[in-house]
Amino acid sequence: MPLMLPNPLAPTDSPPVDAAARPQLKLAARTTQDLRDLVRTATSAVITDEVYRSHGQWRHTLEAVKETLADLERTCESAIEAHEVDVAGVIETLVGSAAAEVDAAAQRTRAQAQIEMAELAAEMVELQTVVDRLQGELHVERDRVASTNEQLDIEVAARVQAESELEEARRMCQQVVSAAESQAQELRAESDGHKAELSLVRQQLDTAKAERSKLMATFQSVQRVLSLAPSVDMAFEAENTGRARVAETESRPQEVQAENSSDTAPELAGLTSSPVADAQVALIEADPEAADVKQVLEQVEAMYGIDLNAGRPPLEVVDSLSGHLRYARDVSVARSSLGERDAHALFEQQIAVLLELKAGTTFGRHLSIAAHASRQISDVSPG
């Protein structure tokens, strides 16, 4: 049997490693320690695989040598039978050849292992460089992720606040819309009320226009009657006399008119001694407010004289006198301490007394027409 030399590179305790079960390097490790452990494990696995591969090659070589030696042994045995003298030399030659082949194979294996170890060392340096680069990128990515998380938190908070503000704005908008709708309904109701009032005022205005048309027709009829009366000249002479007296009254100061107004009863007694005049004097002395009404009517008569002196047509004079009477009635009622109904009754009573005093004059006729017109307008006017 040929001698079997041991392989100095072959381990004795480690089983061969299957090449298909080699671990793969995971370069996406999250921490530096994991990357270092992974590199160490991968490097150990590569070195172990290479050593086992070299051991396998050496073992195959030894198997081949064994087979060769077995063949040689068989050849030697056959040769020994033929040539017993040359057996020892042949064996020594074969053993020397086998030893030389084993040494050469060992040298080749050792050189190959050194080359592979140098390559593994270079790969380890490259892997360490990759690890350092990945570690730097990992720190950069961590900082970027932290910044992104902070920005995301800010954006989420801003979005939550914006949503709350939007909800508040929607609620306020709904409140404003509700208030606007209620206000619009109130305005519609108020507008409907105003329309109803306007319709009523229009009806009253139409009624007043109709009454005014009737009154104008009455005025024209009275004017035609007056123009045909035989005593027109006498009426105008009395009217001119009244105008002169009105002019004298207007030229006096206000204080003199106030003094004369307090002496109204004696003047009325001096002008006429009719029962109506006596009744007026008694009424003025009994009721001080009657004197105030009489003073207002005297001012109306004075304004009537001014209209006549201005040369205005009789129709316009009567229309102006009617307006003055309405104003005088409102002033008298406002000044009076009596109730509204009693004040109106007192004013109408003074109008009746003045008509009795001015009967047969142009002012009396115009006063009668204007008083009737002012009553009609007051009855149809709102309020």
Residues in the chain: 383
Domain membership of residue 180 (yes or no) is no
Domain membership of residue 210 (yes or no) is no
In angstroms, rounded to a whole number, what is the distance separating the alpha carbons of residues 161 and 239?
92
Regarding whether 148 and 40 lie in a shared domain, the answer is yes
Regarding whether 241 and 137 lie in a shared domain, the answer is no
Domain membership of residue 46 (yes or no) is yes
* pLDDT value at residue 378: 59
Domain membership of residue 222 (yes or no) is no
* pLDDT value at residue 205: 78
Beta strand ranges found along the chain (DSSP E) = none
Percent of the chain at pLDDT exceeding 90? 12
Regarding whether 234 and 151 lie in a shared domain, the answer is no
Phi and psi at 231, nearest 5°, equal: -100, 30
Regarding whether 249 and 122 lie in a shared domain, the answer is no
Extract the residue ranges of the chain whose pLDDT is less than 50. Answer: 1-21, 25-27, 29, 229-277, 279-285, 380-383
Domain boundary among 156, 175, 204: 156
Phi/psi region, residue 360 (left: phi>0; alpha: psi -120 to 50; beta: rest), is left
Amino acid at 290: A
Domain membership of residue 280 (yes or no) is yes
What secondary structure does DSSP assign to 310-347, as a single string? TT--HHHHHHHHHHHHHHHHHHHHHH-SS-HHHHHHHH
In angstroms, rounded to a whole number, what is the distance separating the alpha carbons of residues 114 and 102?
18
Counted domains in the chain: 2
In angstroms, rounded to a whole number, what is the distance separating the alpha carbons of residues 199 and 52?
118
Q: pTM to 2 decimals? A: 0.29
Domain membership of residue 195 (yes or no) is no
Regarding whether 240 and 115 lie in a shared domain, the answer is no
Amino acid at 170: R
Domain of 89 in residue numbering reads as: 19-156
Domain boundary among 156, 179, 197: 156
Domain membership of residue 142 (yes or no) is yes
Cβ atoms of residues 369 and 245 within 8 Å:
no
Regarding whether 348 and 245 lie in a shared domain, the answer is yes
Domain boundary among 156, 181, 211: 156
Phi/psi region, residue 381 (left: phi>0; alpha: psi -120 to 50; beta: rest), is beta
Regarding whether 245 and 126 lie in a shared domain, the answer is no
Instruction: Measure Cα distances from 255 to 175, 197, 252, 260, 261 in Å.
Output: 67, 46, 8, 9, 10
* pLDDT value at residue 125: 92
In 3-state terms, what secondary structure has residue 26? coil
* pLDDT value at residue 146: 92
Phi/psi region, residue 311 (left: phi>0; alpha: psi -120 to 50; beta: rest), is left
